[in-house]
Chain A
Amino acid sequence: GQQLNQSPQSMFIQEGEDVSMNCTSSSIFNTWLWYKQDPGEGPVLLIALYKAGELTSNGRLTAQFGITRKDSFLNISASIPSDVGIYFCAGLQRGVSGGSNYKLTFGKGTLLTVNP
């Protein structure tokens, strides 16, 4: 099946620093999504990207949908302690049976630690 290569696996940064993480794939996706998961909770959607080349911001977060539709990056500016968590990229594409059947494939996640 499709695989998403997410890097880095983990990051340790100081409060105030900027962060960048990315995902690549050998497959083309229709949509790229970035989620954050806090300990003991489910993933929460941060940003959704629908068009190749699209650059979208959500507060201190910025994400881009690669031109080739096979990659995406997420930047966090001026990190704060509550940014701690696991960040997942996910690619969405139509399932084999088509129609309304879509499949979401997740990367392994980037564990972010922010030191105050």
Chain B
Amino acid sequence: ETGVTQTPRHLVMGMTNKKSLKCEQHLGHNAMYWYKQSAKKPLELMFVYNFKEQTENNSVPSRFSPECPNSSHLFLHLHTLQPEDSALYLCASSQVDRGVHGYTFGSGTRLTVV
């Protein structure tokens, strides 16, 4: 596998469920990100991990809980979500210590909360 892989591609969950989104990058990058993409809104940065350490949490509700066990894997744990949390969740990675380069995005997880 190459690039940034996200699973699952689609997820439907009830408001009382607990689920996790997974992201894996095979690019040797040292930074990983979670973005939320809702209709008619700009991409919203949720979390940033540099060298496995969380460096940014953009006022994200605690029902979203990120985990970065190593520089290649990133998870987003979900619990007691609301219908307005339905969106496309995108993972991205980049290499930040060898100059500035664009992010590489995964294909996203389309989340529907019912």
Q: Measuring CB to CB, which residues of chain A are less than 8 angstroms from any residue of chain B?
A: 4, 30-31, 33, 35, 40-45, 48, 50, 88, 90, 92, 95, 97, 100-109
Contacts and interface: CB of A to CB of B under 8 A. Distances in A.
Contacts of A4: 42
Interface string B1-34: 0001010000000000000000000000001010
Contact of B106 (A42, A97, A108): A42
Nearest to B6: A42
Contacts of A92: 100, 102
B86 interface: no
B101 A48 contact: yes
B32 to A, nearest CB: 13
B102 A48 contact: yes
Contacts of A104: 33, 45, 103
B101 A41 contact: no
